[in-house]
Amino acid sequence: MAMQTVLNNFQIVLPTEIIRGSVVLEDGRIQEIDSEASSVSGAIDGDGDFLLPGLIDVHTDNLERHFAPRPAVAWPSAIGAVLAHDRDMFGAGITTVYDAISLGDYDSGGERRAMIGKSIENLDAARAHGLLKADHFLHFRCEVSDAGALDIFGRYADHPRLGLVSLMDHTPGQGQWSDLAIYRAFRRKKNGRVWTDAEFDAYIAQRRADRETYSTPQRAEIRRQAAARGIPLASHDDTTPDEVDRARQEGVAISEFPTTLTAAQQARARDMKIVMGGPNVVLGRSHSGNVSAAELAVHGLLDALSSDYVPTSLLEAAFVLAGNGMSLPQALATVSATPADMLGLTDRGRIEPGRRADLLRVRLVDGHPVIRSIWRADDIRF
C-alpha cells in the first residue's frame, strides 16, 4: 500500500509563484499540489510556514574540514568525519550535495592524497550502510598545475557518483589569488605558514614553474576524460574574457566563482552558467578581494549558488537575494532548480508533481530563515 503524507497550510514556493495550500507526498514523490486547504485527517499543519524544494549544493568544502579540523590534524575516525559532514549538510537544508574534493597535493606532503582516498571510501561505506541523510555526489576540483592531479583523477574517474569536474589553478599571482599580499596573509591565517621574503619568493617561483610544466597537458587530458564520460565541466576562478573563451572552447558550460565582472559578462555572452558562493552573498563581499556575488546579481549575472565553506550560507543567501531585488521563487531557483538543470538532475529541484519529495519547512524568525523540518524523498525526516 502506498505511503501518503499530506502537508497542509503552507506557503508553497513553486517555480514562478507562491501559493497557500497543500501538498500530497506518496512513495517519496510529490503526488499533488493544491491551492486549497486539505481536510485529510492527520495532515501536517504548516502553520503558514514556507515549503521549499530541498537545496542542491554544487560545491562544498565541508567534508575536508571534518577530515582535517586543524592544520596538521588528521581526524582518526574517517566514518565519523563523513557522518558529521553529512549532518552539517542535511541540517542546513541541503538534500543533495556535491562534495568538492580537491585533486592536488601541492605542499601537503601527501596528506591531501591520503585524505582523498579516505573521503571517497568512507562516503561509499556510509551510503552502502544507509547512514547518509543527504544524497551525496562527487565534485572533483582538479588542480591542473599540481604534478599529481592527473594521476589522482585517473584513479577515481569512473566512480559512479562523480557528477562534476572543475578545472582550477590556484597558482598564486593569478585567478583567485591575483593579489599576492592577500594570498600570503590567507596562508598565514589558515595554516600558520609564515615565510621570510626570500622563502615566499622561492615558493611562488616554484609554483609558477609547476604551472608552466603541468597545467596545459593535465588540463587537456582531464577535460578529455571527463567529456568522454559525459561529466559536466566547470571552470574555476575565471578572471579575464580570454580565460572564459578558452574554457568555452573546451566544452566547459559552468563558470564557477568568476573573480571579475568582465569575466562574468563574458561567461554570460558565451551562454555559460555562473555560480558564486553563498558566503559571498551573506558577507556582501569576497573574502579574497574579488567581485561580489551581489554585484553580479545586480547585473543579472548570477545563476546559481554553492555553500562553498559555510553550509548554512546556502539558504541564508537565497533569502538575502530575495530581499534585494529577486522574487523568492527566483532566489530559491539559484539553490535548487538551476543547479538541478546544470547537472542533469531531472527528478528534483522543484516542487512539482512527479519530483522527489525533497522539501524544507522554513519560517522567518526576525527576518532570518529557520528550518523547522526536512524531508528527503519522504523516507528521511528531520
**pLDDT at position 109:** 53
**pLDDT at position 378:** 58
**pLDDT at position 106:** 61
| CATH number given to 1-53+350-382 | 2.30.40.10
258 and 274 Cβ atoms separated by less than 8 Å: yes
**pLDDT at position 209:** 85
Q: Would strands 380-381 and 368-376 be described as parallel, antiparallel, or unpaired?
A: antiparallel
Cell (9 digits) for 189: 591565517
Cα 37–Cα 374–Cα 357 angle in degrees, nearest 5: 65
| CATH number given to 55-347 | 3.20.20.140
**pLDDT at position 15:** 96
The pTM of this model reads 0.91
Q: How far is CA 281 from the centre of its chain?
A: 14
Q: Which DSSP category does 258 fall into?
A: -
Alpha helices of the chain — where are they, by DSSP H? 62-67, 78-91, 111-128, 149-156, 180-191, 197-228, 241-249, 261-269, 278-283, 293-298, 313-322, 328-333, 337-342
* Domain ranges, ordered by start, for the chain: 1-53+350-382, 55-347
pLDDT in tens, the chain (382 residues): 467 899 999 999 999 999 999 999 999 999 999 999 898 999 999 999 999 999 999 999 999 999 988 877 888 899 999 999 999 999 999 999 999 999 986 665 567 777 899 999 999 999 999 999 999 999 999 999 998 899 999 999 999 999 999 998 877 766 666 677 777 777 776 666 777 888 888 878 888 888 888 889 999 999 999 999 999 999 999 999 999 999 999 999 999 999 999 999 999 999 999 999 999 999 998 876 789 999 999 999 999 999 999 999 999 999 999 999 899 999 999 999 999 999 999 999 999 999 999 999 999 999 999 999 999 985 666 6
Closest CA to 319 of 357, 351, 360: 360
> Measuring CA to CA, how many Å separate 250 from each of 65, 224, 245, 246, 280?
32, 9, 9, 6, 28
Q: Which strands, in side-by-side order, build the sheet including 135-143?
A: 55-60, 94-103, 135-143, 162-168, 233-236, 254-256, 273-277, 304-306
Q: Which residue has the cell 555560480?
A: 275
